[in-house]
């Protein structure tokens, strides 16, 4: 079931045309990261550490280089040492020294699978053979995998120079705690001690992976004159350019990045792993070099989402008003600092009104792959704890879970504990809509339970460029710098079509390379349709203004006497019978009215609005085996406005199912040697089609005043509620509150049989 009641004020916005890149993608013609071939290309391979923590005493590549067909070998010593240098990516800073060390270990391998050397050869099989001929002299060091162990004072230290950033009392003692932040407002302890209902506990969850089906891959070509080219799939070619140039310490203009189609990212392709290594190999070999990860490499060496351990306490008074929250969060950063720690408090504070707050968050490094963004980074983890507690408090008070949330939800005009001034947010509208769903009234069978949970995500704007140009026949090329990860070409074309009054089919949306369009930050943060879409609309408006000016010239009237509507300029001057000129006519005559009609717009909006969603989930629990099956699932979400509802619903459904996987079975599992025990789709158990029912969607549209068509971000928030929605449903079915993820059959079985 899908529910979407679009306002009829638009011609194209809110309709569901076929995506412009569709046929290439259903016929196998689209070129993804692993598909690109450059003339003369050779094949690289990466040697990875078998140890979770080891000092690299030396690496000898001479035997590998002697193998016929091998053209180049590199190690971390070939990369410049860049202590303290960072590069701005719009969304945040990237520490270049850490990024460099993650691409190729410098003096220590920090996790199993950490890249330590690379070769390039005339065939992939020769490259693999060559890896066996590389000798690495490792001094194996004690490792630490468990997050809480890593945070202890006596833990093996990963980075001897690391000191805790943000600590109230700075210490010069080496530590694995990379960052800490605390916020206190009011007296939370006192408020909670006196609360009528309190829910508390320790919630814990291991890292999970984004699980995109396309492994990372790139081709790089770096010529002797210093000019380099990279072809790769990523969430942002400008990000790839910035960090590749940064890690290699070369001018940004020497790196041109051409985006290929991207086979899923979910945040995991907002950083790089291969590109600088492929560049180095290419420079040495004098040939373009392909580097591609295997699925095992992806799991062992690309960023999972951080695990979290949180002690939390939330309470409410007898009337159902929340009185305070305490939370102590510890996020797992993996091998390098940067666990997205600040996002935890933000998410924690931006759902409900709390008169008193006492929160602390930290992140700790450990001998696991460096974490990366994953769809609403840090939010699903903390929301699992919050929304489990909220549900328990409502139950203690005998209140309906939606009514309890409505009573405490942030509304426009509120300011959250972290200082978010709530604009036209739609949390209340989502709760109201959820409350009206038939799903809530459907009967439940034996051993079945229903859970609801809400979720928040910040959504961002950020640097965005778009160009719009008219061809001679009035057809339109729209160029942006943002990879199409789930239908954004279609939404760009819809917005341009709507604005210019031309048929959707006459708009050709293109993803440009870094030399053909202005700077744009990544496709991420649920920003593309909002921020890049706004740039597209503004570029359309620029050429409309140009066409009005030209028409005024042709007609010899004032510009004010020219109006744009329905894809044509109209003369409104009194006593004037000039026939309107369509965009096609304007394009045909462009060379006699001032030349080509085109505009490029670069903007940097920061007035995005956050997204809220409410999920309703029915589960059946097999009381003998602990298996949880999802019987029915409804996603309610405020999207501002759905430009192409198919792809809006697709985001809601796909995000929900990623959350379902996270809740039920997905987890990084380590063995006692500190090695990942499930680096494949067989034992890293993402949901398969037979695990799921249809995912019903309800699109709530409370327009965003900062976007010409009202768009809020859509992509990320749907992964936030499912963890708690399922936990709450399992509680309803079994009476057991499960505070650890995943809720796999053995854990649910243990909870049913004597657990608490």
Residue position matching structure tokens 């709450």: 728
Q: How far is the CB of 3 from another protein (least distance, A)?
A: 14
Q: Does 695 bind another protein (CB under 8 A)?
A: yes
Q: Which DSSP symbol is given to 415? A: B
Q: Does 28 bind another protein (CB under 8 A)?
A: yes
Cβ proximity of 511 and 557 under 8 Å: no
Cβ proximity of 347 and 455 under 8 Å: no
Q: Does 607 bind another protein (CB under 8 A)?
A: no
- Binds another protein by CB under 8 A, chosen from 669, 705, 735, 755: 669
Q: Does 677 bind another protein (CB under 8 A)?
A: yes
For another protein, the closer of residues 482 and 538 by Cβ is: 482
Q: Does 575 bind another protein (CB under 8 A)?
A: no
524 burial via Cβ count (<10 Å: 0-12, 13-18, 19+): buried
The stretch among 440-448, 471-479, 535-543, 664-672 that binds another protein (CB under 8 A) is 664-672
Backbone angles phi, psi at 470, to 5 degrees: -95, 135
Q: How far is the CB of 287 from another protein (least distance, A)?
A: 16
Q: Does 210 bind another protein (CB under 8 A)?
A: yes
For another protein, the closer of residues 97 and 305 by Cβ is: 305
The stretch among 97-105, 349-357, 424-432, 739-747 that binds another protein (CB under 8 A) is 739-747
Residue position matching structure tokens 């909002």: 530
For another protein, the closer of residues 601 and 726 by Cβ is: 726
Alpha carbon distances (Å) from 237 to 218, 228, 244, 701, 719: 12, 14, 10, 32, 25
Q: Does 258 bind another protein (CB under 8 A)?
A: no
Residues comprising the chain, all counted:
756
For another protein, the closer of residues 211 and 713 by Cβ is: 211
Those residues whose C-beta lies under 8 Å from the C-beta of residue 29, and which sit 6 or more positions away, are 23
Q: How far is the CB of 226 from another protein (least distance, A)?
A: 31
- Binds another protein by CB under 8 A, chosen from 665, 704, 728, 734: 665
Residues of this chain, 263-282, that bind another protein according to CB under 8 A: 263-266
Cβ proximity of 361 and 181 under 8 Å: yes
For another protein, the closer of residues 400 and 691 by Cβ is: 691
For another protein, the closer of residues 479 and 675 by Cβ is: 675
Q: What is the spatial order of strands in the sheet that 507-511 belongs to?
A: 507-511, 476-480, 464-470, 598-603
Binding-site string for another protein from residue 449 to residue 488, where x marks contact by CB under 8 A and - marks none: ------------------------------------xxx-
Q: How far is the CB of 202 from another protein (least distance, A)?
A: 21
Q: Does 251 bind another protein (CB under 8 A)?
A: no
Q: Which DSSP symbol is given to 575? A: T
Cβ proximity of 709 and 495 under 8 Å: yes
Q: Does 46 bind another protein (CB under 8 A)?
A: no
Q: How far is the CB of 686 from another protein (least distance, A)?
A: 6
- Rounded to an integer, what distance in angstroms lies between the CA atom of residue 301 and that of residue 296? 8
Q: Does 447 bind another protein (CB under 8 A)?
A: no
In a 3-state reduction of DSSP, which class is residue 128?
A: helix
In a 3-state reduction of DSSP, which class is residue 309?
A: strand
Q: How far is the CB of 660 from another protein (least distance, A)?
A: 8
Q: Does 262 bind another protein (CB under 8 A)?
A: yes
Q: Does 576 bind another protein (CB under 8 A)?
A: no
Q: Does 681 bind another protein (CB under 8 A)?
A: yes
Q: Does 689 bind another protein (CB under 8 A)?
A: yes
Q: How far is the CB of 691 from another protein (least distance, A)?
A: 5
Q: Does 7 bind another protein (CB under 8 A)?
A: no
- Rounded to an integer, what distance in angstroms lies between the CA atom of residue 87 and that of residue 327? 32
- Rounded to an integer, what distance in angstroms lies between the CA atom of residue 293 and that of residue 370? 16
Binding-site string for another protein from residue 285 to residue 324, where x marks contact by CB under 8 A and - marks none: ---------xxx----------------------------
The stretch among 302-310, 391-399, 428-436, 656-664 that binds another protein (CB under 8 A) is 656-664
Q: Does 756 bind another protein (CB under 8 A)?
A: no
For another protein, the closer of residues 16 and 106 by Cβ is: 16
Residues of this chain, 211-240, that bind another protein according to CB under 8 A: 211-215
Q: How far is the CB of 653 from another protein (least distance, A)?
A: 4
For another protein, the closer of residues 266 and 331 by Cβ is: 266
Cβ proximity of 231 and 260 under 8 Å: yes
Residues of this chain, 631-650, that bind another protein according to CB under 8 A: 644, 646-647, 649-650
Residues of this chain, 100-129, that bind another protein according to CB under 8 A: 124-125
Q: Does 503 bind another protein (CB under 8 A)?
A: no
Binding-site string for another protein from residue 608 to residue 627, where x marks contact by CB under 8 A and - marks none: ----------------xxxx
Q: How many amino acids of this chain bind another protein (CB under 8 A)?
A: 78
Cβ proximity of 724 and 386 under 8 Å: yes
- Rounded to an integer, what distance in angstroms lies between the CA atom of residue 156 and that of residue 151? 10
DSSP structure string for 160-226: TT---BT-SS---S--SEEEEEEEEES-HHHHHHT-SEEEEEEEEE--B----SSPPEEEEEE-TTS
Q: Does 744 bind another protein (CB under 8 A)?
A: yes
Q: Does 27 bind another protein (CB under 8 A)?
A: yes
Q: Which of 43, 657, 647 is nearest to 375 (CA)?
A: 657
Q: How far is the CB of 39 from another protein (least distance, A)?
A: 14
Those residues whose C-beta lies under 8 Å from the C-beta of residue 443, and which sit 6 or more positions away, are none
Those residues whose C-beta lies under 8 Å from the C-beta of residue 155, and which sit 6 or more positions away, are 144, 149, 176
Here the tokens at position 479 are 């160029």
Cβ proximity of 358 and 311 under 8 Å: no
- Binds another protein by CB under 8 A, chosen from 664, 698, 711, 724: 664
- Binds another protein by CB under 8 A, chosen from 10, 30, 63, 360: 30
Do the bridges between strand 507-511 and strand 476-480 make them parallel or antiparallel, or are there none, so unpaired?
A: parallel
In a 3-state reduction of DSSP, which class is residue 468?
A: strand
Cβ proximity of 119 and 134 under 8 Å: yes
- Rounded to an integer, what distance in angstroms lies between the CA atom of residue 403 and that of residue 406? 5
Q: How far is the CB of 750 from another protein (least distance, A)?
A: 7
Residue position matching structure tokens 């995109």: 212
């Amino acid at each position: 079931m899908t529910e979407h009641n679009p306002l009829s004020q638009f011609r194209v916005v809110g309709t569901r045309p076929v995506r412009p890149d569709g046929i290439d993608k259903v016929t196998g013609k689209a070129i993804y990261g692993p598909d690109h071939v450059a003339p003369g290309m050779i094949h690289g391979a990466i040697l990875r550490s078998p140890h979770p923590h080891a000092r690299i005493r030396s690496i000898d590549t001479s035997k590998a280089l002697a193998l016929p067909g091998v053209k180049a070998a590199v190690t971390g010593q070939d990369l410049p040492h860049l202590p303290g240098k960072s590069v701005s990516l719009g969304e945040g800073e990237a520490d270049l020294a850490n990024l460099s060390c993650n691409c190729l270990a410098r003096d220590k391998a920090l996790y199993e699978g950490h890249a330590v050397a690379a070769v390039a050869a005339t065939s992939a099989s020769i490259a693999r053979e060559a890896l066996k001929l590389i000798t690495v002299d490792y001094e194996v060091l004690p490792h630490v995998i468990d997050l809480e162990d890593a945070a202890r004072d006596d833990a093996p230290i990963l980075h001897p120079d690391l000191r805790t950033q943000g600590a109230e009392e700075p210490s010069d003692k080496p530590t694995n705690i990379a960052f800490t932040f605390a916020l206190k407002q009011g007296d939370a302890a006192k408020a909670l001690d006196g609360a009528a209902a309190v829910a508390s506990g320790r919630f814990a969850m291991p890292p999970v992976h984004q699980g995109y089906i396309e492994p990372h891959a790139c081709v790089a070509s770096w010529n002797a004159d210093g000019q380099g080219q990279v072809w790769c799939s990523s969430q942002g070619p400008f990000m790839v350019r910035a960090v590749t140039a940064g890690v290699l310490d070369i001018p940004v203009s020497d790196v041109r990045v051409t985006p290929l189609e991207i086979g899923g990212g979910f945040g995991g392709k907002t950083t790089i792993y291969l590109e600088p290594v492929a560049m180095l190999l290419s420079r040495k070999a004098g040939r373009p070099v392909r580097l591609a990860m295997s699925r095992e490499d992806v799991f062992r060496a690309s960023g999972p989402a951080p695990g979290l351990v949180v002690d939390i306490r939330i309470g409410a008074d007898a009337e159902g008003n929340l009185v305070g929250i305490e939370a102590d969060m510890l996020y797992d950063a993996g091998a390098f600092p940067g666990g997205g720690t600040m996002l935890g408090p933000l998410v924690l504070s931006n759902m409900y009104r709390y008169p008193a707050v006492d929160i602390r968050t930290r992140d700790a490094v450990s001998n696991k792959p460096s974490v990366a963004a994953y769809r609403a980074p840090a939010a699903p983890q903390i929301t699992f704890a919050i929304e489990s507690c909220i549900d328990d408090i409502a139950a203690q008070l005998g209140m309906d879970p939606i009514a309890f949330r409505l009573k405490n939800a942030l509304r426009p005009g509120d300011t959250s504990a972290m200082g978010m001034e709530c604009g036209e947010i739609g949390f209340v509208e989502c709760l109201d809509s959820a409350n009206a769903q038939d799903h809530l009234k459907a009967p439940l069978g034996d051993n079945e339970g229903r859970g609801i949970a809400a979720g928040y995500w910040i959504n961002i704007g950020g640097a965005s460029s778009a160009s719009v140009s008219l061809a001679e026949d009035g057809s339109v090329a729209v160029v942006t710098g943002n990879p199409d990860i789930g239908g954004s070409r279609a939404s760009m074309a819809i917005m341009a079509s709507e604005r210019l009054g031309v048929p959707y089919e006459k708009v050709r949306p293109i993803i440009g390379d870094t030399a053909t369009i202005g700077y744009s930050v990544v496709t991420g943060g649920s920003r593309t349709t909002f921020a890049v879409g706004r740039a597209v609309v503004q570029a359309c408006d620029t050429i409309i203004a140009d066409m009005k000016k030209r028409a005024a010239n042709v007609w010899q009237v004032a510009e004010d006497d020219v109006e744009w509507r329905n894809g044509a300029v109209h003369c409104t001057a009194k006593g004037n019978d000039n026939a309107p000129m369509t965009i096609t006519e304007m394009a045909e005559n462009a060379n006699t009215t001032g030349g080509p009609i085109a505009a490029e717009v670069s903007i940097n909006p920061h007035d995005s609005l956050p997204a809220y969603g409410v999920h309703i989930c029915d589960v059946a629990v097999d009381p003998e085996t602990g298996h949880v099956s999802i019987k029915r699932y409804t996603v309610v979400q405020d999207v501002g406005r759905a430009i192409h509802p198919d792809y809006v619903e697709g985001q809601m459904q796909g995000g929900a199912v990623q959350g379902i996987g996270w809740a039920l079975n997905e987890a990084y599992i380590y063995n006692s040697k500190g090695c990942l025990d499930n680096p494949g789709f067989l034992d890293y158990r993402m949901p398969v089609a037979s695990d799921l029912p249809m995912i019903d969607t309800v699109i709530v549209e409370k327009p965003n005043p900062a976007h010409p068509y009202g768009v809020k971000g859509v992509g990320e928030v749907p992964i936030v509620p499912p963890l708690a929605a399922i936990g709450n449903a399992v509680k309803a079915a079994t009476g057991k509150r499960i505070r650890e993820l995943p809720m796999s059959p053995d854990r649910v079985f243990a909870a049913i049989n004597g657990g608490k």
